[in-house]
Chains A and B, each alone.
Chain A
């Protein structure tokens, strides 16, 4: 794991490090050679770590006051908001924190898509990242159910009902998930239990994600392999730590803006109405970060088809490293793919928007067009463009961005791979 030997200076340190090399790990994390040309899109890894820790810490405190019972949950949330010292602050950080977490993770994912960070040799980092993303969605969905408002209840009903689309055993599975014959107290109880569990699973995967990252090292905006350590790299500390700290602070200012000045704008007002199984809200919508998938789900007239398509939309990302046929990582040198990348960004934003609208008329048309394009992008555009595209010349190293025309990208990589 470490490129260099590390010997603690003190005797006690040496004694401990021989038995558990934590100090070696610390030295590795400090010295970790990082490409010096990382831009601010690369600061979201640190920001996401901050988001996870924030959610865990605020969540643990909330769990001290929250009551996971269908008759008491809504009241216990109001108790937190009114009677617990700074309960409103902790809850608003937690609820807005979920949104900020997703905002950061989407930027992180699209960063990876733009700069080809999912490509060899980083496929495992990418796949672990997607598993984290899946768990995040599960955790966020269950968390949204806990206040037991109208949107909690009906969101839970809609999502759990998706499983009833499974042929033959669908209804049995749904009943098993509910622990009852409808979304009820047992459902709330198990969602709370899982909501508390999942963040720690995420934490474990984050450790693996970073571990897997430290094997090949960071990708970079130029997308080429670099010699480590070299004049193309800087030690992680203090160079990257201070840059991450700066970006994190900017992120925290935006975060604080939401928490203190408009804490409910990202939520749905119906969730301040206690859950009522007898009254269905006019429009059942998930939280904003799940909307693109909700749009895909509703774009298919058949329930099972919609469910399959929705899950495919996520699982197709797992094979992305093998769908992309281009040898060049960074879209900076891929003039055609670059255009398609931005079309995909617009497509996903559009899907998110129509996901919030009623599934009818023009919105349904847009959802269908958006869904088709989403899949076309991965199944057709990525393999074909990667194959046909004439890429721009790639520099041989970060420090020498100039290269005389018509570079053969594989050449640059070969040279560096030997090091």
Chain B
């Protein structure tokens, strides 16, 4: 009886939440991509992460910061897994401000793997001023900070279109099918052949969008692979223990005339 009532409750609740408002006409659900990192055992595509880093470095990084990442992260397990030499070389290609030295002066030096990713602007105000009044958000946790996650980021990157007739856009504003309100201040920066991939992959807009989104997904959740792997082990352990405890329970309760 209780069971059938619970069923009733669940059913009516499902009915309730299926009752959604009509989406406003211009909002479009993001494209669903079959990411390799989805699912219980999902992992990142190493090559895609490395290509994604290249897109980030050559395109995104001129406006977007990634202040919570360090260069060393690029060589850590579960990420792009660049070799130690590559990580050192990547870090060294940036001039990092350090100091003060013993004379009280700030100075610049080549980056080290322990340095955080260098930001393109000194602060949010400078970034906002340089980008027509729209702050290019820090991308460290961007995938987690947007409803729709990786699908949404990818969709926006490939969602630039000419505005439909009747829609006029101000200077420095672009039309994007997937952006909330359809207006975005980031121009469409991706065009076919924009970067020259080291592994020879053809750099179509779609390919670059996929790669850089994969890279951003890793940046937001660098623990994802370890989390998935540990999770599978934890669940298996818990299920086995649950079975043992269940059998013990049955045995103990067999002394009593009550079912458990």
Residues of A within 8 A of B (CB): 36-37, 75, 78-79, 81-82, 88-89, 92, 234, 238-239, 242-243, 245-246, 249-250, 252-253, 256-257, 259-261, 263-264, 269-270, 272-274, 282, 338, 342, 345-346, 349-350, 353, 357, 361-362, 399
**Contact mask for chain B residues 235-255; partner A; CB cutoff 8 A; 1 contact, 0 none:** 100110110011011001100
| Interchain CB contact under 8 A, A250 and B242 | yes
| Interchain CB contact under 8 A, A238 and B235 | no
By a CB distance below 8 angstroms, the chain B residues around A257 are 231, 235
| Interchain CB contact under 8 A, B260 and A243 | yes
By a CB distance below 8 angstroms, the chain B residues around A261 are 40, 227-228, 231
By a CB distance below 8 angstroms, the chain B residues around A274 are 138
| Interchain CB contact under 8 A, A345 and B249 | no
| Interchain CB contact under 8 A, A260 and B239 | no
Q: Which of A88, A238, A246, A269 contacts B145 (CB 8 A)?
A: A269
| Interchain CB contact under 8 A, B223 and A269 | no
Given contacts A243-B260, A272-B145, 18 further A-B contacts (CB under 8 A): A89-B230, A234-B256, A242-B252, A243-B249, A249-B241, A253-B238, A253-B239, A256-B235, A260-B227, A260-B231, A264-B144, A269-B145, A282-B180, A346-B9, A346-B13, A349-B13, A357-B21, A361-B21
Cβ-closest chain B residue relative to A231: B257
| Interchain CB contact under 8 A, B245 and A249 | yes
Q: Which of A36, A78, A239 contacts B68 (CB 8 A)?
A: A78
- The A-contacting residues of B in range 182-225, CB under 8 angstroms, are 220, 222-223
By a CB distance below 8 angstroms, the chain B residues around A273 are 137, 145
Instruction: Give the docked Cα–Cα distance between A326 and B144 (Å).
Output: 50
Q: Which of A245, A246, A263 counts the most B-chain CB atoms under 10 A from its CB?
A: A246
| Interchain CB contact under 8 A, A256 and B238 | yes
By a CB distance below 8 angstroms, the chain B residues around A361 are 21
- The answer, yes or no, to whether B16 is at the interface (CB within 8 Å) is yes
Q: 17 A-B residue contacts at CB 8 Å?
A: A75-B68, A78-B68, A78-B140, A82-B73, A239-B256, A242-B249, A246-B242, A250-B242, A256-B231, A256-B234, A260-B235, A261-B227, A272-B141, A274-B138, A349-B12, A349-B13, A349-B16
Query: Shortest beta-carbon distance, B194 to chain A, in Å?
Result: 28
Q: Which of A249, A256, A259, A346 contacts B12 (CB 8 A)?
A: A346
| Interchain CB contact under 8 A, A249 and B13 | no
| Interchain CB contact under 8 A, A242 and B248 | yes
By Cβ-Cβ distance, the 10 closest A-B pairs, closest first, are A260-B231, A272-B145, A249-B242, A88-B223, A78-B68, A272-B144, A272-B141, A242-B249, A36-B258, A246-B245
Instruction: Give the docked Cα–Cα distance between A46 and B17 (Å).
Output: 32
| Interchain CB contact under 8 A, B17 and A353 | yes
Query: Shortest beta-carbon distance, B178 to chain A, in Å?
Result: 15
- The answer, yes or no, to whether B146 is at the interface (CB within 8 Å) is yes
**Contact mask for chain B residues 15-56; partner A; CB cutoff 8 A; 1 contact, 0 none:** 011000100000000000000000010000000000000000
Query: Shortest beta-carbon distance, B30 to chain A, in Å?
Result: 13
| Interchain CB contact under 8 A, B137 and A353 | no
Query: Shortest beta-carbon distance, B26 to chain A, in Å?
Result: 15
- The answer, yes or no, to whether B108 is at the interface (CB within 8 Å) is no
| Interchain CB contact under 8 A, A238 and B252 | yes
Query: Shortest beta-carbon distance, B170 to chain A, in Å?
Result: 20
Q: Which of A78, A269, A338, A353 contacts B146 (CB 8 A)?
A: A269
Known: A243-B249, A342-B5. Contact between A259 and B231, CB under 8 A? Answer: yes
By a CB distance below 8 angstroms, the chain B residues around A243 are 249, 253, 260
| Interchain CB contact under 8 A, A242 and B245 | yes
By a CB distance below 8 angstroms, the chain B residues around A36 are 256, 258
- The answer, yes or no, to whether B109 is at the interface (CB within 8 Å) is no
- The answer, yes or no, to whether B57 is at the interface (CB within 8 Å) is no
By a CB distance below 8 angstroms, the chain A residues around B227 are 88-89, 92, 260-261, 263
Instruction: Give the docked Cα–Cα distance between A14 and B166 (Å).
Output: 90
| Interchain CB contact under 8 A, B144 and A353 | no
Instruction: Give the docked Cα–Cα distance between A245 and B40 (Å).
Output: 26
Query: Shortest beta-carbon distance, A329 to chain B, in Å?
Result: 16
Cβ-closest chain A residue relative to B259: A37
| Interchain CB contact under 8 A, B141 and A78 | yes
Known: A36-B256, A239-B253, A246-B249. Contact between A81 and B223, CB under 8 A? Answer: yes
Cβ-closest chain B residue relative to A114: B2
Cβ-closest chain B residue relative to A345: B9
Cβ-closest chain B residue relative to A267: B144
- The answer, yes or no, to whether B173 is at the interface (CB within 8 Å) is no
